[in-house]
Amino acid sequence: MTFSLSDEQISKQQEFRRFAGEEIDTGDHYPQENLKKAAQRGYMGYPVPAEWGGQGEGFLNYILLIEEISKVCASTGAIIAVHTSVGTFPILYFGTGQQKQRYLPGLAGGEMLGAFALTEAGAGSDAAALSASATPVEGGYRLNGCKLFITSGGQADLYTVFATVDKSKGVKGITAFLVERGADGLATGTPEKKMGLNRSQTTELRLEDLFVPVTNRLGNEGDGFTIAMSLLDGGRIGIAAQGLGLAGASIDYTVRYLKEQEAAGQKTEQGISFALADLAARLEAARLLVYRAAAVKGSGVRCSKEASMAKMFATDLAVEASTRCIDLCGLAASRRDNPLTRYFCDAKATQIYEGSNEIQRIVIARQLLK
């Protein structure tokens, strides 16, 4: 059992840290430039095999990438993570040869952006209750329904959309489809004004008699729910990495602030240093959980429990660390433009998406009690 990154992983981590520190911006606008720079470095298809245009890197290396980018801009981290683990992996894992040829090189190269459309008004935590319909017609399906809170809605070039061919069949009716941007009958709503991850555009996605050819069905009819759940394992580790980035950024900011205060003659109280020590220890614990989940996923073994533990622990910590650090920095941190405020708002969003942390607890408990 090894508890440290290999020399190669440490060198990658340094590369990602340099990239994020020097190239990633933190404005209010959609981070198009960040994504372009990430694509130029091959980061939009980092864990995708080289034969499909990716970098063929291990899943843990990809997680290190998301952590470092999220330390600087969690919205950019979120867009890349969603694009990769639930926007590109569906085709890599479940696509036909033809689907892979058509979409993977563009997605892995960053010329195309991927998105994942599962959530509906009555089907968030309970994804099995979705009611978007896919009616079989000559040559394909007609999709009708409305998806909510879709990351990269309106920006993405390819959506993996989940709809049911027969609601009476429950999860066995849920089927996955690949829908291209600009398809007739696909409409996106206005971007949500979210509390956090604001640079990542999130919209409604309306399916209005949208025709999808049978060649764009992903897997068989009825495979959709299994596909969605298995993709979420990897997706959740990506969100856990965003949590690591946000918790790390909060602690780093606070350490810098306290050192500046000390340099100006203001001694750090013991209560403050103890709080910081607790957060630093918990961040190391979170890293072990997240990296282990990534290693299990990278080895090809099913990792639902590990992924849920990592997502729950790291994103809860991100909220706790950013909240606590705001307390520790006091007045200086209560300004709206202080980075800690952004870290807190972004961290809150990571607790919710790809399964709220209550849902992660359900997944973990189910594994324990089965």
Measured from the CB atom, the residue of 235 and 298 that comes closer to ligand FAD is 235
Measured from the CB atom, the residue of 113 and 295 that comes closer to ligand FAD is 113
* 326 near ligand FAD, judged by CB under 6 A: no
3 state SS of 181: coil
**354 noted as active-site residue:** yes
**CA distances (Å), 258 to each of 5, 252, 320, 327, 330, in order?**
29, 10, 19, 12, 11
Measured from the CB atom, the residue of 205 and 279 that comes closer to ligand FAD is 205
Please give the sequence-ordered ranges of beta strands (E in DSSP) within 111-201, or none if there are none: 114-117, 133-137, 140-151, 158-164, 174-180, 186-188
DSSP assignment string, 242-270: HHHHHHHHHHHHHHHHHHHHHHTT-PPPH
Q: Minimum CB separation from ligand FAD for residue 136, in Å?
A: 23
* 207 near ligand FAD, judged by CB under 6 A: no
Q: Which of residues 99-128 bind ligand FAD (CB under 6 A)?
A: 116-119, 124-125
* 240 near ligand FAD, judged by CB under 6 A: no
Q: Minimum CB separation from ligand FAD for residue 291, in Å?
A: 24
Contacts of 133 (CB under 8 A, 6+ apart): 143, 144, 145, 163, 164, 165, 167
Q: Minimum CB separation from ligand FAD for residue 286, in Å?
A: 20
Q: Minimum CB separation from ligand FAD for residue 197, in Å?
A: 5
Measured from the CB atom, the residue of 62 and 116 that comes closer to ligand FAD is 116
Match 């998806």 to its residue by tokens.
Answer: 147
Number of residues binding to ligand FAD, judged by CB under 6 A: 22
Q: Which member of 208, 262, 354, 358 is catalytic? A: 354
* 358 near ligand FAD, judged by CB under 6 A: yes
Measured from the CB atom, the residue of 39 and 129 that comes closer to ligand FAD is 129
- What phi, psi does 227 have (nearest 5°)? -60, -50
Q: Minimum CB separation from ligand FAD for residue 244, in Å?
A: 17
Contact 204, 189 (CB under 8 A): yes
* 202 near ligand FAD, judged by CB under 6 A: yes
**CA distances (Å), 141 to each of 136, 163, 249, in order?**
4, 10, 46
Q: Minimum CB separation from ligand FAD for residue 202, in Å?
A: 5
Contact 143, 207 (CB under 8 A): yes
Can you name the residues that pair with 120 across neighbouring β-strands? Answer: 123
Measured from the CB atom, the residue of 23 and 180 that comes closer to ligand FAD is 180
Strand 158-164 and strand 114-117: the pairing is parallel
CA dihedral angle for residue 321, residue 352, residue 177, residue 133, rounded to 10 degrees: 180
Q: Which of residues 45-84 bind ligand FAD (CB under 6 A)?
A: 82
* 143 near ligand FAD, judged by CB under 6 A: no
Active-site annotation, residues? 354
Binding site for ligand FAD (CB under 6 A): 82, 116-119, 124-125, 149-151, 194, 197, 202, 349, 352-356, 358-359, 362
